[in-house]
Amino acid sequence: MVKRVKTGIRGFDELVQGGFPIASTILLTGSPGTGKTIFGLQFLYNGASKFNEKGLYVTFEQTERALVEQAKLFGWDFEKYLKNKSIQILHISTREINQETTKSIVEKVMKEKIHRLVIDSISTLAINAPIYTFMTDTALIDISNGRSFFSPPIVGDFIVKRFIYSFIDDLRNVDHCTTIMISESPEKGEYLSRDTISEFVCDGIIHIVFESMGGEFSRSLLVRKMRHTKNDEDIHPLEINNKGLVVHSTEK
């Protein structure tokens, strides 16, 4: 039996047989303002308050203050859990991202026995990935035939993919931690993530869409993939109310 990690988000866990498979990495993708950050905060808050599980929120975008304030709007008292370290928020500025960044996140998760990790966002991480510091990477020497080369767009893209791939791979080896990777989905195109690789490497994908239905905008959620799970395949209305997210059953 696969051990499952409950999000505690109303209406969500039953779509995935009770929760995310433990130690999985889930890509949470959607366009701006769809509720991705709220999902991540709720996952950690419920973890700490209902299941006594330690959470780490890594943000490259909002400050700790801003996230705590955002959580307060839904009645989630993050300060209480920040004080006893059952939730931690790690704000890393994009200028500080280097090849040690992902390593130090994984190390922290292992050392401090973090159960729930949120990365907000993998898109920002990928855009700021340390392209030039990887020049000695073996695979690069192979493809360049040992010669020097200069082809930033193609090689840069390749390095970013490897960077993302190895981060997700490293997390896979931490058997006590379940990860949500937040990702911006391109508005159009065949890929769900901008880096075009994380959707294949991650164990699950949740896609949130914000679109106009007969003139009114509304949110919906789809579990696009979930390894080891017979997941629900319908598109569900998603509501943000004053207690957080609620996933509704499909109107048939």
Ligand X SMILES: Nc1ncnc2c1ncn2[C@@H]1O[C@H](COP(=O)(O)OP(=O)(O)OP(=O)(O)O)[C@@H](O)[C@H]1O
Q: Could you tell me where the DSSP H helices lie in the chain?
A: 36-50, 64-72, 78-83, 99-111, 122-127, 138-143, 152-172, 198-201
Q: Is 148 in the site for ligand X (CB under 6 A)?
A: no
Q: How many CB atoms within 10 Å of residue 6?
A: 17
What phi and psi, each to the nearest 5 degrees, are found at residue 230?
-90, 90
- The closest of 154, 162, 157, 169 to 137, measured between CA atoms, is 162
**Which residues, 76 to 105, sit near ligand X by CB under 6 A?**
none
Using CB under 6 A, pick the residue from 2, 155, 209, 240 that binds ligand X. Answer: 240
Nearest approach, Cβ of residue 121 and Mg ion (Å): 7
Q: 236-241 and 178-184: which strand pairing?
A: unpaired
84 binds, among Mg ion, ligand X, none (CB under 5 to 8 A by kind): none
Q: Is 75 in the site for ligand X (CB under 6 A)?
A: no
Collect all residues with Cβ–Cβ distance below 8 Å to 158 and sequence separation of at least 6.
140, 143
Q: DSSP assignment of 200-249, as one string?
A: HHSSEEEEEEEEEETTEEEEEEEEEEETTS----S-EEEEEETTEEEEPP
Nearest approach, Cβ of residue 58 and ligand X (Å): 14
**Which residues, 36 to 75, sit near Mg ion by CB under 5 A?**
37
Q: Is 123 in the site for Mg ion (CB under 5 A)?
A: no
Structure tokens at 225: 């993939």
The span of 36-44, 84-92, 98-106, 171-179 binding ligand X (CB under 6 A) equals: 36-44
Helix (H, G, I), strand (E, B) or coil at 83: helix
The span of 18-26, 30-38, 136-144, 150-158 binding ligand X (CB under 6 A) equals: 30-38
Nearest approach, Cβ of residue 42 and Mg ion (Å): 13
- The closest of 170, 186, 48, 218 to 116, measured between CA atoms, is 48
The span of 10-18, 126-134, 140-148, 236-244 binding ligand X (CB under 6 A) equals: 236-244
The span of 31-39, 86-94, 103-111, 188-196 binding Mg ion (CB under 5 A) equals: 31-39
Using CB under 6 A, pick the residue from 20, 25, 29, 30 that binds ligand X. Answer: 30
What phi and psi, each to the nearest 5 degrees, are found at residue 18?
105, -10
Distance, CA of 69 to CA of 59 (rounded, Å): 15
Using CB under 6 A, pick the residue from 4, 9, 27, 36 that binds ligand X. Answer: 36
Complex with ligand X: residue 184 or 199, whichever CB lies closer: 184
Q: Is 37 in the site for ligand X (CB under 6 A)?
A: yes
The span of 31-39, 104-112, 135-143, 171-179 binding ligand X (CB under 6 A) equals: 31-39
Complex with Mg ion: residue 121 or 220, whichever CB lies closer: 121
Residues in the site for ligand X, rule: CB under 6 A?
A: 30, 32-38, 73, 184, 240-242
